Chain A
């Protein structure tokens, strides 16, 4: 494993760091001793062939794996210097700091407004109605969706197109005001145009948020990310600047993957 740690940490302490993380599904090991540091306000892409554990690894950061009863995570994962698996950590508070966007757009079958307002409501982020409306509108604007839906905020979120639904999910995640947004193949169900819109959106979001994205598309990783981690068979093979990974990978497996020989 070759990580250019000095260079990364020299600029800023990483917002997320994983040390020797193992994940087991029952007896099967899905992630094998992965260590990784994710820099703040950048887009980090996790790539690798299907079943390599990149989604599983992503879901460790907001403890979504807790919902799978047979899943066990060991090792040390820190968010802004705190152990997220620590005894005093409340997953509810953690997930408010680390939001998530899923592979399949999953808006609630409620109105667009209520979709975005749900997070602020449960976390009591708004003191009154006007403030809540403000949060909703700001979030929709940040997700680049507001102009398209401003006249139908009270129509069902499930009536939107696939790309709009995914941006609605991003707006919903933003509304809670997280530091990190985890994205699990957010564009895999979208057409190229919708994908381009979402990618553009991510680009503009990185100023305010740290984004970790799992993607199948190497082209997408190359286009949008600053850091890329290549996973293979549950192991982190290579992690570094995206440009370097795609132009001059150190590991033979990375080379094979990006040239289309495996995966």
Chain B
């Protein structure tokens, strides 16, 4: 009988080695990529996690009517902006009886956030019954106190190089010792607009700005993109003109986003006089930017619908439009939606074009519609990253975490929709 060689020959061995090597290259590449990702996430989370809680100081305050509402008014609007500073100083005096000098009092008052008076105003205007009562409340501390509590202030450093003086640190340590300091979940960060004070700054304004911009962007780009794709793919005869359009759509997808910003500046703001800095114009610019992405994705998913489905419908006497909208478009919808969501996610992270149309302004108010001046999440991150106050460092990372969370959510939605709506044939 012939003896066949079934064991590994040197030649086969080399082939196996090649395969093994290639597998390892792949594994190494993935490990490096994952490593960078983990590094990025952990760095951002490590820096930003502090911003999700906030230091509060426990104070015994008396809402003395003669100070808050000397004329006896109960109008929440007026009470919101009433004079609360004396109340807070009085409360601090009880906590620090030894601070009698004017300088000391001033120094101790600075342990509180500059926004503490507004907090008081909000409290009172929300609950008028507080006036004339005596309450124990937690007041937001200044950003420097917060940083100290997180161990981010080096007490060994020369006193002149840090914002908290040695005396401040003593006071803080006293408060800590008495149990009058606490770090609580930072609701301010999620309910406020931008602020000059890190401890008062929040991302609600920027988030809503982003939301309204994306809404406008979606309302414009989705129907336009889908209809363009359907027309080009299903109706348009192939000609020089459609080739030209196709090339230009692909080119548009590669145009740097700041160019769209310039276009928005000169056309939307310059010619049509759409109000500056608003989500309306921001959304329009983002729509221009997203449109090619949506068109390309939609065309690809229309192309992936088998020709047999079109033939089946046409063969039954369906008109072209019926075949397209009853069968082809629904089948292509998961792909179209995925493309749209990915385009929107790209738009959510876009900063450059928004700078051009003035969405970079410092805006404290929360936008309530598409025509209110607003900023957006990435622009807010840019603004905070640029701020000198140390407290903004962690706010910046925290805002990045929020932005990433939204992006991940949108991508998950895309995956979910694709899985849910996908039909096999």
- Contact residues of A with B, CB < 8 Å? 62, 64, 67, 69, 92-96, 99-102, 104, 106-109, 118-119, 122-123, 158, 169, 172-173, 176
Contact = CB atoms under 8 A, between A and B. Distances in A.
A35 to B, nearest CB: 25
19 contacts: A62-B315, A64-B315, A67-B310, A92-B318, A95-B315, A95-B316, A99-B316, A102-B308, A106-B312, A107-B425, A108-B312, A108-B327, A109-B331, A118-B316, A118-B326, A119-B316, A119-B317, A122-B317, A122-B318
Nearest to B331: A109
Nearest to A175: B316
Contacts of B316: 95-96, 99, 118-119, 122, 172-173, 176
B306 to A, nearest CB: 7
Interface of B: 237-238, 306, 308-319, 322, 326-327, 331, 423-425
A172 B327 CA distance: 15
B317 A64 contact: no
| Interface of chain B, main secondary structure | helix
Given A109-B423, A118-B326, A158-B425, A102 B319 contact: no
A110 B128 CA distance: 62
Contact of B315 (A69, A99, A104, A122): A99
A178 to B, nearest CB: 9
Contacts of A104: 308
A93 B237 contact: no
Contacts of B308: 102, 104, 106
Given A69-B237, A69-B238, A107 B312 contact: yes
B180 to A, nearest CB: 66
Nearest to A121: B326
A158 B309 CA distance: 12
The 7 closest A-B pairs by CB, nearest first: A96-B317, A106-B308, A100-B315, A95-B317, A109-B423, A119-B316, A106-B312
B319 A92 contact: yes
Contacts of B237: 69
A122 B310 CA distance: 15
Most-contacted residue by chain A among B319, B424, B425 (CB, 10 A) = B425
A245 to B, nearest CB: 28
A20 B314 CA distance: 26
Given A69-B238, A92-B319, A106-B306, A64 B425 contact: no
Contacts of B331: 109
A104 B315 CA distance: 13
B314 A67 contact: yes
